[in-house]
């Protein structure tokens, strides 16, 4: 009995094991299908994620490329807009003059009499016998820009300084006009000329006091007197520069507080506008550095505005003057002459007996300024090598009253001076 019971129990256990196995198999199949689907979904999502990242990366790269191109296109478009807006008001100036017309001295290769006459009597004798014929020739060129609809044009003084020359203006549409010089500034390289007509396009004037180094600068002009309305582009490279400019003919001029740019400025660009990205004139191109590349200079437009307005209102340029002859002090002059200041304008007479230290009847004379006085400040601004007396005076107008701080006979004092027009 005991043996049979044991066998029965084993049989039952065996049967239970088979059911368990079957359940496990069914459960395994079920779970496999469930987790397989889940894993497949996750795998699909993972793949989508990976591919989306790759695609997005490629898309981002394309977007960056597009944005970069858009920036370049926008910047180029802005420059193109400036040129289209400003060019109609920019002009070329052609300088012509009657010059001697040289004939062929020898009538023919066999004209031995002329040959001996040349050696025996000389060319000067021949010239005295015959007045040379003249012919009108182009002797130079420059640029300018129109600032009034009735044809008033700004240019450089050195472009139109020859009083015996004729000046022709060629506008952007190719029309030619005879130009008359209205005014030449005596101390700044600016001149105003005029052509007859109306409804001329004008150039908007900007504010040169707000310029920042690095901002876009565009020059338009007539380089070499041959390539009218040529455009060059750069940046404002420097501000408040001081230099002495030479014409190549021995004439020099001190330029102060001017704009430096790397926009190409060449001979013939003189008098043309330097523009900002809004198409406004911020300067008048005036000079370039010899022996260097991409170093050009322009007069700040704010210093030209007053000249333009004076000519519009009065037909001339009125220049205020103080009426003293002076030298600017520095540490070296102070030390050599045992002076109390290393800045200011020391009032001194010139080498000639007629070169008086103070002009009789001038504003300085009326204010009691005498030789050996040192003018230290004008309206609170110190007079220095970079901020000279004349630079400060020209900021004011005829009739303005200014306050001078001076060192007079060992003491500092302030005097009021009313500026008068330079004759």
Q: Which residues are catalytic?
A: 158, 189, 270
**37: Cβ contacts below 8 Å, ≥ 6 apart:** none
Residue 175: exposed, middle, or buried by beta-carbon count in 10 A (0-12, 13-18, 19+)? exposed
Contact by Cβ (8 Å): 213, 228: no
Cα 80 from Cα 82, distance rounded (Å): 5
Contact by Cβ (8 Å): 253, 299: no
Among all chains, which residue has been given the structure tokens 């519009």?
Answer: 312
CA distances from 225 to 49, 63, 156, 162, 348 (A): 65, 46, 14, 17, 44
**381: Cβ contacts below 8 Å, ≥ 6 apart:** 387, 392
* Cα atoms found within 13 Å of the Cα of residue 268, Cβ hemisphere only: 19
| Cβ neighbours of 10 (radius 10 Å) | 10
């Amino acid at each position: 009995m005991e043996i049979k019971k044991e066998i029965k129990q084993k049989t039952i256990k065996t049967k239970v094991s088979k059911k368990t196995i079957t359940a496990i198999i069914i459960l395994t199949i079920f779970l496999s299908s469930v987790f397989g689907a889940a894993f497949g979904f996750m795998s699909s999502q993972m793949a989508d994620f990976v591919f989306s990242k790759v695609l997005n990366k490629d898309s981002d790269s394309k977007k960056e490329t597009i944005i970069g191109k858009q920036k370049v296109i926008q910047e180029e478009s802005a420059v193109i807009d400036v040129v289209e807006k400003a060019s109609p008001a920019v002009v070329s100036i052609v300088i012509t003059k009657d010059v001697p017309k040289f004939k062929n001295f020898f009538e023919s290769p066999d004209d031995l009499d002329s040959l001996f006459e040349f050696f025996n009597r000389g060319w000067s004798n021949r010239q005295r016998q015959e007045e040379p014929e003249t012919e009108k020739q182009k002797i130079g060129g420059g640029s300018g820009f129109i600032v009034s609809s009735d044809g008033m044009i700004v240019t450089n003084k050195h472009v139109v300084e020859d009083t015996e020359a004729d000046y022709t203006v060629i506008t952007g549409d190719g029309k030619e006009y005879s130009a008359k010089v209205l005014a030449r500034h005596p101390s700044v390289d600016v001149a105003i000329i005029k052509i007859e007509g109306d409804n001329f396009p004008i150039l908007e004037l900007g504010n040169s006091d707000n310029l920042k180094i690095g901002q876009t600068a565009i020059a338009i002009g007539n380089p070499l007197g041959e390539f009218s309305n040529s455009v060059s582009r750069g940046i404002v490279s420097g501000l408040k520069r001081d230099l002495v400019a030479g014409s190549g003919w021995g004439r020099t001029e001190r330029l102060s507080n001017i704009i430096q740019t790397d926009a190409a400025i060449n001979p013939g660009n003189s008098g043309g506008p330097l523009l900002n990205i809004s198409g406004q004139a911020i300067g008048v191109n005036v000079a370039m550095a010899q022996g260097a590349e991409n170093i050009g200079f322009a007069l700040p437009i704010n210093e030209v505005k007053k000249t333009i307005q004076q000519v519009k209102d009065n037909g001339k340029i009125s220049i205020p003057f103080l009426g003293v002859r002076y030298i600017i002090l520095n540490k070296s002059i102070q030390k050599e002459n045992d002076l109390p200041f290393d800045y200011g304008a020391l009032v001194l007479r010139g080498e000639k007996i007629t070169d008086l230290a103070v002009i009789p009847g001038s504003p300085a004379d009326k204010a009691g300024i005498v030789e050996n006085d040192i003018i230290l400040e004008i309206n609170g601004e110190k007079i220095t090598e970079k901020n000279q007396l004349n630079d400060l005076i020209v900021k004011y107008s005829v009739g303005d009253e200014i306050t001078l701080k001076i060192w007079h006979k060992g003491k500092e004092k302030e005097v009021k001076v009313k500026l008068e027009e330079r004759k």
